[in-house]
Chains A and B, each alone.
Chain A
Amino acid sequence: METLKAKNKETKKTTMKISGAEAIIHCLLEEGVDLIYGYPGGAIMPVYDELYKFQDKLTHILARHEQGATHAAQGYARVTGKVGVAMATSGPGATNLVTGIADAQIDSTPMVCVTGQVFRHLLGSDAFQETDIIGISTPVTKWNYQITKASEIPEIMAKAFYLARSGRPGPVLVDITKNAQLEEFEFSYEKCTGVRSYKPVPKPKVEAIDAAAELINNAKKPFIVFGQGVILGKAEEELKALVEKAGIPAAWTILGLSAMDTDHPLNVGMVGMHGNYGPNVLTNECDVLIAIGMRFDDRVTGRLDDYAKQAKVIHFEIDPAEINKNVMSDVAVLGDSKKTLELILPKIKENKHDAWHNEFKEKYKVEFDQVINDQLNPTKEGLTMGEVLKEINIASENKAVIVSDVGQHQMFACRYAKFNQSKSNITSGGLGTMGFALPAAIGAKMGAMDREVVAIIGDGGYQMTIQELGVINQHNVPVKIVVLNNEHLGMVRQWQELFFDKRYASTVMTNPDFVKIAEGYHIKATRISKRENLKAAIEEMIAFKGPYFLEVCVEKEDNVFPMIPSGASVSEIRLK
């Protein structure tokens, strides 16, 4: 560490004449990057040439589609808390990044994307593989910039990393024209420590902390809903301390999951469309709603005019634009979640709310009898997604990183997976991007080689980025892939069943032999369809040292419940 620091200082002082392409590599190294995902092409070739020369310091993983590169960078970022990096060429390479960038933007994931661009003199001329990626990516990036001369590279790259990781994180795209990659210039690097028009973290106000503490201390039925802001702010310990000291039942949003042990007695489950019964219904019965690092997404709130109207709302949030955006708060506590929770903790009185907590337990019993038991201990013939998750919990001792795709299996994964470590639930929350999980699991595994990484994927979403099996094969990435095959676009089919009179338009799939496909990529693969084989199959998968593919043929027409139908209120959640 010391030597690294010293070295950085040295490179800062001594300048050297290098190409823009080489400068990009040095910038990445200065930012502590040792792993990037990408795909080469004409407009980025000078950088790839440098990647070749620097391969002992900086590993480049060739994704099989640029979208895969972004999701892998996201998975890496989500599991490590560091900035993920994806690289692509101009034109189609750049446009293929867009889905991952949009996903990272809405889920606040720190990511830097570097794209090649045509020569400066060709800009605007509809040159070969020219596309206005700055224009295209503007609405879905935290910041973006087109570099047209080499001398801009160090400052812009430093700014890109600073902006991606600071405050509320997000994706930044840097587009670099080919001439800027080829030009030589005197390189020196200085890390960015601030941008004058940008205030990443608002200063917490004492009055807000005091007002919040008073509301919490006087509450009879306080209720915490925490989101990813707790994880991004590294405030897991502070959250736990608050929950325990004040004795407040706490529930999570899909991105907040794993910030607190799922087995913690005061952890009452998930809020939102397919969340737990108690936390949803009791949102409309609490007297103080304490939202921490979450943004009242419509999938969480249901119909807004019947959401927590009876409650005083306290909103702990880093982004001022989120305050009073969807839900009006009585007290807004702006700031970094770790800092604000630290400040409020000494002002919180020790308390217990047993009767109130019991209401959650009672609601859980109802949900268990009507929903959960049938999932975890089914008596019907077909396998349920819930029981698969249960076996994964057991075999991995709740220690795995679970990366889920989008659909019914995602909701089952988030409802039933158990966690005892933060940054362990990786899923596409805000954008709901099918195809996210397989590449994200690759990134997550490479970011946490010491951990078990299990991808839970539907048969539909799996086929959107299935080509990333190529990466797993080439680099022997030991991820465990579980495809829950219901031969349907299950989530859409569920809506068709419930709201479109069972008109199953384009939701039935004739699938390929997934086992053969995995084997074609030299990945060990198994298929099961019977309950008696489930436990052993999961155990074998978890025990296996390399990458492993497991297809579980599940009940074809199962539904995820509970469910808040769209447009309904949290109180109107359906158990069936």
Chain B
Amino acid sequence: MEKETYTISVYSENNVGLLNRISGIFLKRHVNVESLNVSKSEIDGVSKFTIVIVENNENARKIVGQIEKQIEVIKAYYHKNDETIYQESALFKIKSSLLFDERQIQNIIKESNSEIVTVSREFFVLSKTGRRNEVDAMHDLLKPYGIMQFVRSGRIAVTKEEMPISALLKEFNQN
């Protein structure tokens, strides 16, 4: 079966041990986690893990089943790229002198739709949000001039389909 990129969204109770439990499931099956992001979700007190893996559909389904089984997991979903709206963020730290010495840098900033977060005497910081290939392209363009520091976040995603977590939680309260 062909491998594809899947975005796994896990709604859970806030819990210290859960990350360990979830990562253990990937570990056991030798599945590499391409990116992982944990944040609050649209529901008060409910956390959301956004995990990206490259796997075949069957394994993705089994992994999600085993994640969902964990006690603190309310619900887990998995989606293909075209079923989600997704982005990553990146920060580039660059020598300030380059802003003046290298005309081309200003063009890159403009054309890549990135933002200058801060400028100091020594360095300035660019922030770029977008798809992985856009971030990578910008990285490639800046690299020849020297990047002092670079960091890219995990993927964050929302799905086109509804994720009825509130209804699930309500159901629990009624029982």
Known: A138-B20, A138-B21, A138-B24. A197 touches B65 (CB 8 A): no
Give 1 or 0 for each of A143-167: 1 = CB within 8 Å of chain B CB: 1110000000000000000010000
How far is A194 from B175 in the complex, measured between Cα atoms in Å? 9
Q: Are B71 and A320 in contact (CB under 8 A)?
A: no
Q: Are A198 and B71 in contact (CB under 8 A)?
A: yes
How far is A479 from B74 in the complex, measured between Cα atoms in Å? 45
Shortest distance in angstroms between A202's beta carbon and chain B's nearest beta carbon? 11
B40 within 8 A of A: no
Q: Are A197 and B73 in contact (CB under 8 A)?
A: yes
How far is A536 from B65 in the complex, measured between Cα atoms in Å? 54
Shortest distance in angstroms between A187's beta carbon and chain B's nearest beta carbon? 25
Q: Are A194 and B65 in contact (CB under 8 A)?
A: no
How far is A142 from B21 in the complex, measured between Cα atoms in Å? 10
Which B residues are in CB contact (< 8 Å) with A198?
71-72
Q: In residues 1-36 of chain B, which contact A (Cβ within 8 Å)?
A: 12-13, 17, 20-21, 24, 28
How far is A194 from B12 in the complex, measured between Cα atoms in Å? 16
Known: A144-B17, A197-B12. A324 touches B172 (CB 8 A): no
Interface core residue of B28, B61, B62, B69 (most chain A CB under 10 Å): B69
B173 within 8 A of A: yes
Q: Are A196 and B66 in contact (CB under 8 A)?
A: no
Q: Are B71 and A143 in contact (CB under 8 A)?
A: yes
B169 within 8 A of A: yes
A319 within 8 A of B: yes
Q: Are B69 and A319 in contact (CB under 8 A)?
A: yes
Interface core residue of B21, B61, B71 (most chain A CB under 10 Å): B71
Q: Are A320 and B20 in contact (CB under 8 A)?
A: no
B134 within 8 A of A: no
A135 within 8 A of B: yes
Which B residues are in CB contact (< 8 Å) with A194?
172, 175
Which A residues are in CB contact (< 8 Å) with B72?
197-198
Q: Are B172 and A320 in contact (CB under 8 A)?
A: no
How far is A320 from B64 in the complex, measured between Cα atoms in Å? 11
Which B residues are in CB contact (< 8 Å) with A320?
65, 68-69
Shortest distance in angstroms between B109's beta carbon and chain A's nearest beta carbon? 44
Candidates B62, B68, B169; contact of A325 at CB < 8 Å: B62
Shortest distance in angstroms between B59's beta carbon and chain A's nearest beta carbon? 11
A321 within 8 A of B: yes
Give 1 or 0 for each of B40-73: 1 = CB within 8 Å of chain A CB: 0000000000000000000001100110110111
Shortest distance in angstroms between A161's beta carbon and chain B's nearest beta carbon? 13
Shortest distance in angstroms between B174's beta carbon and chain A's nearest beta carbon? 11
Which A residues are in CB contact (< 8 Å) with B68?
320-321
Q: Are B71 and A324 in contact (CB under 8 A)?
A: no
Report the nearest B residue to A143, measured CB to CB: B71
Q: Are A321 and B65 in contact (CB under 8 A)?
A: yes
Shortest distance in angstroms between A472's beta carbon and chain B's nearest beta carbon? 36
A195 within 8 A of B: yes
A517 within 8 A of B: no
Shortest distance in angstroms between B46's beta carbon and chain A's nearest beta carbon? 9
Which B residues are in CB contact (< 8 Å) with A196?
13, 74, 169, 172-173
Q: Are A139 and B24 in contact (CB under 8 A)?
A: yes
Shortest distance in angstroms between B77's beta carbon and chain A's nearest beta carbon? 14
How far is A134 from B65 in the complex, measured between Cα atoms in Å? 23
Known: A134-B17, A138-B21, A139-B28. A195 touches B61 (CB 8 A): no
Q: Are B65 and A325 in contact (CB under 8 A)?
A: yes
How far is A163 from B20 in the complex, measured between Cα atoms in Å? 19
How far is A323 from B65 in the complex, measured between Cα atoms in Å? 9
Report the nearest B residue to A142, measured CB to CB: B71
Shortest distance in angstroms between A132's beta carbon and chain B's nearest beta carbon? 10
Shortest distance in angstroms between B57's beta carbon and chain A's nearest beta carbon? 12
Which A residues are in CB contact (< 8 Å) with B28?
139
Which B residues are in CB contact (< 8 Å) with A143?
71
How far is A163 from B70 in the complex, measured between Cα atoms in Å? 11
How far is A525 from B17 in the complex, measured between Cα atoms in Å? 49
Shortest distance in angstroms between B111's beta carbon and chain A's nearest beta carbon? 46
How far is A320 from B75 in the complex, measured between Cα atoms in Å? 12
How far is A145 from B15 in the complex, measured between Cα atoms in Å? 10
Which B residues are in CB contact (< 8 Å) with A323?
65
Give 1 or 0 for each of A319-354: 1 = CB within 8 Å of chain B CB: 111011100000000000000000000000000000
Q: Are B71 and A163 in contact (CB under 8 A)?
A: yes
Report the nearest A residue to B173, measured CB to CB: A196
Shortest distance in angstroms between B33's beta carbon and chain A's nearest beta carbon? 16
Report the nearest B residue to A328, measured CB to CB: B58
Q: Are A197 and B74 in contact (CB under 8 A)?
A: yes
Give 1 or 0 for each of A189-221: 1 = CB within 8 Å of chain B CB: 000001111100000000000000000000000
Shortest distance in angstroms between B118's beta carbon and chain A's nearest beta carbon? 35
Q: Are A197 and B13 in contact (CB under 8 A)?
A: yes
Q: In residues 80-136 of chain B, which contact A (Cβ within 8 Å)?
A: none
Which A residues are in CB contact (< 8 Å) with B175?
194
Q: In residues 124-145 of chain A, which contact B (Cβ within 8 Å)?
A: 134-135, 138-139, 142-145
Report the nearest A residue to B23, measured CB to CB: A138
Shortest distance in angstroms between A576's beta carbon and chain B's nearest beta carbon? 37
Shortest distance in angstroms between A198's beta carbon and chain B's nearest beta carbon? 5
How far is A163 from B21 in the complex, measured between Cα atoms in Å? 16
Candidates A145, A195, A321; contact of B17 at CB < 8 Å: A145
Q: Are B24 and A324 in contact (CB under 8 A)?
A: no
Which A residues are in CB contact (< 8 Å) with B169?
196
Shortest distance in angstroms between A83's beta carbon and chain B's nearest beta carbon? 16
Q: In residues 309-323 of chain A, which contact B (Cβ within 8 Å)?
A: 319-321, 323
Give 1 or 0 for each of A501-538: 1 = CB within 8 Å of chain B CB: 00000000000000000000000000000000000000
**The 3 residue pairs across chains A and B that have the minimum distance between CB atoms:** A321-B65, A197-B74, A196-B172
Offer 12 A-B interface pairs, CB within 8 angstroms, sorted by A. Answer: A135-B20, A139-B21, A142-B71, A163-B71, A195-B71, A196-B13, A197-B12, A197-B13, A197-B73, A320-B65, A321-B66, A323-B65
Besides A135-B20, A138-B20, A324-B62, 10 more A-B contacts (Cβ < 8 Å) are A134-B17, A138-B24, A142-B71, A163-B71, A197-B12, A197-B13, A197-B74, A198-B72, A321-B62, A325-B65
